[in-house]
């Protein structure tokens, strides 16, 4: 028996990372991008979501507002075709993307969902590393800021030592 050929070999991590947007403080994939990854039409994806609405609570999926839609269209070139759509897109969180694959129940959707989850996890790791780096940088800035004050005190002490005294000092020693 030959090796089973993957249905989603053309998906690249960078491509999936570009489709993940930050909306309302959450990382999400819009319905059009998710449908493209899962190999179905957006209409079919939304139809299955409507039929299985109880599987998609608010923390799995939400509908964009008109303002959010306009901002997404303005900032994401690959979503420019949404500009002319009268429907507001759905935004799926990581868990919503998995649930969408389950309700679609196609082999490509299942394989792509595994890939999407891995990209979400990778982004979470990158963000965690970024937060750790930002925290360390803040600590370093605080330490260096404290050093600036200490160095300034040292410079002032050196300047005081370098300036001659105002009144002549009493001579020490034997005078003839």
35 or 111, greater pLDDT: 35
Question: How would residue 166 be classed by pLDDT, with cut points 50, 70 and 90?
Answer: low
Quick: pLDDT tens for 78-128. Answer: 777 788 888 899 999 988 988 888 888 777 777 777 777 778 788 778 877
Helix (H, G, I), strand (E, B) or coil at 33: helix
| HEC assignment per residue over 62-84 | EECCHHHHHHHHHHCHHHHHHHH
Domain chopping of the chain, boundaries: 13-129
pTM of full prediction above 0.85: no
- pLDDT, mean of residues 3-20: 62
DSSP per-residue codes, 98-151: HHHHHHH--HHHHHHHHHHHHHHHHHHHHHHHHHHHHHHHHHHHHHHHHHHHHH
CA distance 122 to 116: 10
Sign of the alpha-carbon dihedral angle for 142, 143, 148, 153: positive
């Amino acid at each position: 028996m030959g090796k089973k050929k993957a249905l989603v070999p053309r998906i690249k991590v960078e491509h999936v990372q570009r489709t993940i947007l930050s909306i309302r403080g959450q990382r999400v994939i819009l319905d059009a991008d998710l449908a493209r990854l899962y190999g179905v039409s957006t209409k079919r994806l939304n139809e299955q979501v409507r039929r299985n609405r109880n599987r998609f609570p608010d923390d799995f999926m939400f509908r964009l507002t008109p303002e959010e839609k306009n901002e997404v269209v303005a900032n994401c070139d690959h979503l420019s075709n949404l500009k002319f759509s009268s429907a507001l897109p759905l935004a799926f969180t990581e868990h919503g993307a998995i649930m969408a694959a389950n309700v679609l129940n196609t082999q490509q959707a299942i394989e792509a969902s595994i890939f999407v989850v891995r990209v979400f996890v990778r982004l979470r790791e990158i963000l965690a590393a970024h937060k750790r780096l930002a925290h360390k940088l803040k600590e370093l800035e605080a330490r260096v800021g404290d050093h600036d004050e200490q160095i300034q005190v040292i410079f002032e002490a050196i300047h005081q030592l370098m300036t001659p005294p105002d009144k002549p000092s009493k001579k020490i020693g034997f005078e003839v």
